Amino acid sequence: MEQVIVIGAGLAGSEAAWQLAQRGIPVELREMKPKKMTPAHHTAYFGELVCSNSLRSDQLENAVGLLKEELRRCGSLIMACADAHRVEAGGALAVDRHAFAAAITEKIKGHPNITVAEGEVTELPPEGQVILATGPLTSEALSAEIRKLFPDSKYLNFFDAAAPLVTFDSIDMEQAWFASRYDRGTPDYINCPLTREEYDAFWTELTQAQEAEVHGFEDAGVFEGCMPVEVMARRGRDTLAYGPLKPVGLKDPRTGKEPHAVVQLRKDNAQGSIYNMVGFQTHLKFPEQKRVFSMIPALRQAEYVRYGVMHRNTFLDSPRLLDRYYRVRGQERLMFAGQITGVEGYVESTASGCLAAVELARRLAGKSPANFPQETALGALALYISDQSVVNFQPMNINFGLIPPLGCRVKGKRNKNAAISQRALGALGKLDLD
């Protein structure tokens, strides 16, 4: 069987390598870590999570919950490791990031059909089947090579930001409380309230705080799904209070009322010793982060185990360049997977690697394409990034808007979404994915 080269051992690359190997196809997985690291990475593990430790909702009434269930039914390595190393996060699937990545690495390196080659890839393999899954942290050298593939097309860069992590022991729990919004799920979030006066003072300092130097960064070019908190704050005094700091559904047990704003912290490891500042992706200078975030009463003495950092993100003008199988149009031996294709999010990146590998495996075995239908979340994502009618292409999370409506009326949004999910799982079950 022909060997496939997978470049990049993030979520998409690891998933693609696994799906191919499980089908008896030999894989050479090329990964630049640990020989070359990036500012956003801290370990040599495969599948290392950067921006957050949450894979978002795990409920079928939510589109990403559907996508996760589809992946499970496709034998996803990433989902198996996530389920095995989850930490409590209400209705969301959050993981112990180190245990999660370590498990992925162990499974990949232990598979008899996968060979790992360490070191930076600076040139595209001249022949053979290749899946490029280098993600938002594609190296400059390889990025330049990819540009050469598409000299007449847009090849876009933007920036993401990772949120700070604080120790649980340093959080003042007399100024905070455990709860989930509207008491849904288990009370796994730490809620740090702000009065109107405290919020106004915090907002003023946040909007004036010094940013770390990031060449080429502009507010207008930031992707809305991972916007730095200081950029969001500059869009208006109440933007945060109606966004990531909204207090709706969270009553302070000390007052019995909703505070003016709430900063939420989410468990980042299984032990509950480290918490992530939800929605606080940032590229402020480290001393400024400590100064400004210490204005939050519950975090006045917070100990930061990692400050927020800014990192470059890269994605293709995929509707013009890729087909529904994530293949390069006109150069079908080359495929892309992960955020570089314009799917946004951990689960979506995993999904692209899964679909690309399943379809490639079928081609190599002389079988017809599975053709994941648009009724499935996996198919809807692939059809979105390859839809040539899309004019101003931007990265997209999975959402029910990408999936065709039911064609009949179902009362209640949650009931309707649940029905869409059941239809999707039924359609997935009819596919031959071997």
User: pLDDT of 316-371, one tens digit each?
Assistant: 999 999 999 999 999 999 999 999 999 989 999 999 999 999 999 999 999 999 99
146/39 same-domain check: yes
Mean pLDDT of the chain: 91
d(CA 255, CA 44): 46
pLDDT in tens, 186-200: 788 999 999 999 999
What is the rounded average pLDDT of the residues 293-298?
98
What is the predicted pLDDT for the residue at 159? 61
Phi, psi of 92 (to 5 degrees): -100, 160
Percent of all residues in the chain with a pLDDT value above 70, rounded to a whole number: 93
Q: Are residues 134 and 188 in the same domain?
A: no
Pick the last residue of a domain from 275, 307, 339: 307
Task: Identify the pLDDT of residue 135.
Answer: 79
Q: Are residues 289 and 318 in the same domain?
A: no
Q: Kindly report the CA angle at 161 between 133 and 386, in degrees rounded to 5?
A: 40
Same domain, 354 and 242: no
How many angstroms separate the CA atoms of 352 and 336, rounded? 8
Considering the domain architecture, whether residues 45 and 123 belong to the same structural domain is answered as yes
Residue 216 pLDDT exceeds 50: no
Tens digits of residue pLDDT in 7-41: 999 999 999 999 999 999 999 999 999 888 876 77
The pLDDT value recorded for residue 314 is 76
Shared domain for 144 and 209, answered yes or no, is no
Q: What band does 157 get if pLDDT is binned at 50, 70 and 90?
A: low
CATH number of the domain where residue 394 is located: 3.50.50.60
4 conformational bin, left if phi > 0, alpha if psi -120 to 50, beta if neither: beta
Residue 323 confidence (pLDDT): 98
pLDDT beyond 70 at 160 = no
Between 353 and 399, the higher pLDDT residue:
353
Q: In what order do the strands lie in the sheet with 190-194?
A: 177-178, 190-194, 261-267, 274-277, 165-167, 304-306
Does the pLDDT value for residue 309 go beyond 90? no
Report pLDDT for 217.
41
Q: Check pLDDT > 80 for residue 70.
A: yes
**27-31/114-118 β-pairing:** parallel
Q: Is the pLDDT of residue 244 over 60?
A: yes
Are residues 185 and 144 part of one domain? no
Structural contact between residues 229 and 165, judged by C-beta atoms closer than 8 angstroms: no
Q: Domain for residue 434, yes or no?
A: no
CB of 309 closer than 8 Å to CB of 162 = yes
pLDDT value at 182 more than 70? no
- Domain count for the chain: 2
Domain end marker among 307, 339, 373 = 307
Quickly state the pLDDT bin for 152 (edges 50, 70, 90): confident
pLDDT value of residue 215: 47
Is residue 50 included in any domain, yes or no? yes
CA proximity to 107, closest of 173, 25, 170, 45: 45
pLDDT surpassing 60 at residue 303: yes
pLDDT of residue 29: 98
What are the angstrom distances between the C-alpha of 75 and each of 21, 85, 174?
Answer: 12, 17, 44
Considering the domain architecture, whether residues 154 and 266 belong to the same structural domain is answered as: no
| Residue 189's CATH number | 2.40.30
Domain span holding position 170: 164-307
Domain C-terminal end among 307, 325, 355: 307
